[in-house]
Amino acid sequence: MQILRQTPREQLTRIPQGYNNNIWWNLAHVVVTQELLLYNLSGLPMGIPDSLVSRYRKGTYPQGEPSEEEISELEEFLLTTLDKAVEDHARGRFKEFREYTTSVGVTLRSFEDALAFNTFHEGLHLGVVMCLKKVMA
């Protein structure tokens, strides 16, 4: 959230030479991936729009500039999606899970596996974001 709020928009959307994405894409991607890992693999409806999923899921690349509305929407999702997942877990909503092997070879067999992997995944993308910020400094 701090990165989204404190990074100038030009830097959010700039793709430096040698990179294939930008800070904005990485932030949106981690929100989308979290929902896919936790909700989609559990057979539950995701709390984000399909349009966001199609633009920022694995295998996508930045396409154009985000609107002010999209930036506000992502800010809201950064604040709410994990809390909702924790609440839903406490309520026992995550009963099923479709096993999935990630692109780095980690096999997820449960909601708890997906949650742990999501933390690792966010760390990877935070590292990319920090590199992007450094390159543009």
Structural domain that includes position 116: 2-136
- For residue 136, the model assigns a pLDDT of 92
- The answer to whether 109 touches 97, Cβ cutoff 8 Å, is yes
Biggest CA pair distance of the chain: 46
- For residue 8, the model assigns a pLDDT of 93
Q: How many domains does the chain have?
A: 1
Q: Is the dihedral of CA 5, 10, 13, 14 positive or negative?
A: negative
pLDDT digits (tens, 9 = 90+) for 103-114: 999 999 999 999
pLDDT digits (tens, 9 = 90+) for 77-110: 999 999 999 999 999 999 999 999 999 999 999 9
CATH code, domain with 31:
1.20.120
Extended strands (E) in 1-137 = 100-101, 107-108
